A and B are shown apart, each in its own frame.
Chain A
């Protein structure tokens, strides 16, 4: 991975995903051959790092656990510094089907938007969504509708592609916890556009999700607060 003439980077944030990350990388390489894959390891305590390297990805290893937002932002920062035009984020747990990367990329290349969301609800497959998450999605759709000025079907999707303009923004300003929904508000504040494209989602292949009922409640409160703070916020100190 050098700093010259690069277009697309596939970014995989991962935390303790040794059972999944290798398979995800192989699927990405099969879906978009020759595209560099960067795994951002959020200080995993298992063998995520070595599995990612063995599978052929480059690894950005964080020195301590930053959480999803900090982890993704680190990848965005590196991609921006290295001059990539497009970055497509695929989760390391195998829930996002990498065969949809070309669809996301095509929508980005059309140039009508700064961000593309891979959605499980736009002609897609939302059947693998848990009841709790589905309820959260319905709730946040209703909250975001008046803020964004148009509907978003899958606001919690982490299957996201960004162009260089959004990459520049996210390199300096990115929500640190539960970033997906707040990132939409950050985009809206800059009058950036996003589109949704249908993508396939699958159940996680191995390991357990860390989301519990209590965490879901915390998630809702945290994200709601984050959304409203982002609406009111001036350009803060973090650069």
Chain B
């Protein structure tokens, strides 16, 4: 069982390093890395805080403390994914609106150019 906790510790450390390195290389913007870093740090702390895991397992009526950790980890990452979905939806809405407005502006600009050029062509 201890080995499973160690695996989670290593996994959360890798995740933290991975996210930080992505931020450093500008693959992820800082504001979008915060949720991932918080979730990974929480996982790291819980994987080393056995007293809390044991208490949570008994409070939740679970047979062992690793299950409690797994539930916390699952919940943390679900929240992160939900937050990212919200952001993606917002960005998609903005991008559609921008694309439509850009197309409309180009259309109007083209119409204006045609108007301006029409007398010159005569």
Q: Interface of A with B (CB < 8 Å)?
A: 1-2, 40, 58-64, 66, 70, 73-74, 77-78, 81, 176, 237-238
Q: Which of B99, B102, B104 contacts A81 (CB 8 A)?
A: B104
Q: Contacting chain A: which of B10-18, B45-53, B89-97? A: B89-97
Contact: A61 with B90, CB < 8 Å? no
> Is there an interface contact between A60 and B104, defined as CB atoms closer than 8 Å?
yes
B interface with A by C-beta (< 8 Å)? 90, 93, 96-97, 99-104, 106-107, 111
Q: How many angstroms between the C-alpha atoms of A59 and B90 in the bound complex? A: 28
Assembly CA distance A64 to B106 (angstroms): 14
B99-A238 in contact (CB<8A)? no
Taken together as a complex, chains A and B put the C-alpha atoms of A237 and B111 apart, in Å, by 31
Q: Is the CB of B96 within 8 A of A176?
A: yes
**Chain B residues with CB under 8 A of A40:** 103
Do residues A1 and B103 form an inter-chain contact, with CB atoms below 8 A? no
Majority-rule SS of A interface residues: mixed
Are A1 and B111 neighbours in the complex by a CB distance under 8 Å?
A: yes
Choose among A58, A59, A64, A238 the residue that contacts B97 (Cβ–Cβ < 8 A): A238
Contacts of B111 on A, CB cut-off 8 Å? 1-2
With A60-B103, A64-B99, A66-B100 already in contact, 11 other A-B pairs whose C-beta atoms are closer than 8 Å: A58-B107, A61-B106, A63-B103, A66-B99, A70-B96, A70-B100, A74-B100, A74-B103, A77-B100, A77-B104, A78-B104
Give min CB distance, B89 to chain A, whole Å: 10
How far, in whole Å, are A73 and B103 apart by their CA atoms in the complex?
12
Contact (A238, B103) CB under 8 Å given A1-B111, A2-B111:
no
Residues in A neighbouring B97, C-beta threshold 8 A: 238
- Chain A: minimal CB distance from B23 (Å): 27
Instruction: Please measure, in the bound complex, the distance between the C-alpha atom of A66 and the C-alpha atom of B95, giving whole angstroms.
Output: 9
Q: Which of chain A's residues have a CB closer than 8 A to the CB of B104?
A: 60, 74, 77-78, 81
